[in-house]
């Protein structure tokens, strides 16, 4: 691939206007589980890129390559046919399948992609055969949503538990999109409750799904299934909401938002604010103002 590897995000728009190709690699997560850490990232790699003209020649990966076109038309040869990816769908390229890539129009194309070690999917699926989505493209909404969750926040490293949750959801969505029949697993409710107690005691620090699974006495993918079955949400989302509950409690008590974020287990205030907006649709400073309760210092514009 040609162009400016690791192109700064703030320059992306200007270089695209001049037809300059670039690739941006998202910072790797500190997750250490799974198949041993492709690029030190727990078996995954995330990129965003822009290409015009012929982007890259025929090649193959030893991973799944799953992503979405953000702008333009991404054309590629795959399994004997020319495919065209537009915004709104999902690209699914299977391990060891040759493909190329080029712009379908003169404006070029921009896309995000996640590369996943197939062993991670097989573990999450309980040893079932790897799912196969024909044609390299899918309009399955479950697969689109799962891919979107893993491909947002590209300018930061994913929280380890967030990454593990996202991989489980992607594995389930890929399994469904491939047309595989749903399977029923037994649910260990006691393990799920032990996991919840561990999460509640771990709000102030980073945890991985391996940590939670060890505390619950289950393997991590079975626990992820158990937790969703009992509590209706993933371990990461549950922990995030409990952290946000603590942020609100501390902010209402007058603690500055930056300090409330740090005391609640977020990496920084901006990290907390992203999740706060996602949960309630407003920034924490705006939420406080609407309540008529402003802390001594918000740290927000």
Can you name the residues that pair with 64 across neighbouring β-strands? Answer: 116
Residues 6 or more apart whose CB falls under 8 angstroms from that of 186 comprise: none
Residue 270 CA, chain-centre distance (Å), reads: 18
Contact status, residue 180 vs residue 220, Cβ threshold 8 Å:
no
State the residue for tokens 């609407």: 290
β partners of residue 248: none
Please report the pLDDT score of residue 42 as a whole number: 62
Structural fold of domain 4-177: Jelly Rolls (2.60.120)
The confidence score (pLDDT) of residue 31 equals 56
Question: 81: helix, coil or strand?
Answer: strand
Tokens of 112: 């995000």
Q: What is the pLDDT along the chain (301 residues), one digit of tens a residue?
A: 333 344 444 445 444 555 688 989 998 886 544 433 344 346 789 999 998 887 778 888 888 999 999 999 999 888 888 989 999 999 999 888 888 888 888 889 999 999 998 888 888 888 777 888 888 999 999 999 999 999 998 988 888 899 999 999 999 999 999 887 666 778 899 999 999 999 999 988 888 899 999 999 999 889 988 998 888 788 998 999 899 999 999 998 999 999 999 999 998 899 899 999 888 888 898 888 877 755 555 444 3
Domain 238-291 has CATH 1.10.10.60: yes
- Owner of token pair 């930056």: 258
Tell me how far apart the alpha carbons of residues 153 and 174 are, in angstroms, rounded to a whole number. Answer: 22
Cα–Cα dist 168/123, whole Å? 9
């Amino acid at each position: 691939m040609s162009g400016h590897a690791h192109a700064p995000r703030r320059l992306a728009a200007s270089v695209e206007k001049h037809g300059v190709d670039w690739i941006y690699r998202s910072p790797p997560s500190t997750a250490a589980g799974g198949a041993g850490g492709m690029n030190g990232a727990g078996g995954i790699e995330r990129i965003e890129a822009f290409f015009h003209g012929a982007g890259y020649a025929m090649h193959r990966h030893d991973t799944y390559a799953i992503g979405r076109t953000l702008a333009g038309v991404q054309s590629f040869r795959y399994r004997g046919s020319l495919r065209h990816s537009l915004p709104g769908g999902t690209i699914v390229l299977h391990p060891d399948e040759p493909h190329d890539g080029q712009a379908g129009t003169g404006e070029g194309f921009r896309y995000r992609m996640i590369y996943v070690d197939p062993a991670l999917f097989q573990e999450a699926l309980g040893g079932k055969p790897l799912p196969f989505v024909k044609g390299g493209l899918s309009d399955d909404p479950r697969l689109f949503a799962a891919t979107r969750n893993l491909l947002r926040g590209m300018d930061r490293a994913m929280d380890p538990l967030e990454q593990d949750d996202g991989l489980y959801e992607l594995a389930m969505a890929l399994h469904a999109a491939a047309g595989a029949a749903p399977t029923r697993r037994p649910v260990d409710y006691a393990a799920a409750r032990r996991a919840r107690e561990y999460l509640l005691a771990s709000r102030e620090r980073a945890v991985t799904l391996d940590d939670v699974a060890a505390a619950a006495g289950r393997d991590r993918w079975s626990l992820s299934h158990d937790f969703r079955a009992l509590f209706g949400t993933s371990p990461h989302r549950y922990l995030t909401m409990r952290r946000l509950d603590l942020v609100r409690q501390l902010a209402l008590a007058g603690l500055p938002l930056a300090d409330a974020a740090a005391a609640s287990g977020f990496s920084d205030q901006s990290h907390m604010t992203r999740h706060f907006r996602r949960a309630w649709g407003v920034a924490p400073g705006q939420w406080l103002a609407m309540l008529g309760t402003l802390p001594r210092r918000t740290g927000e514009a």
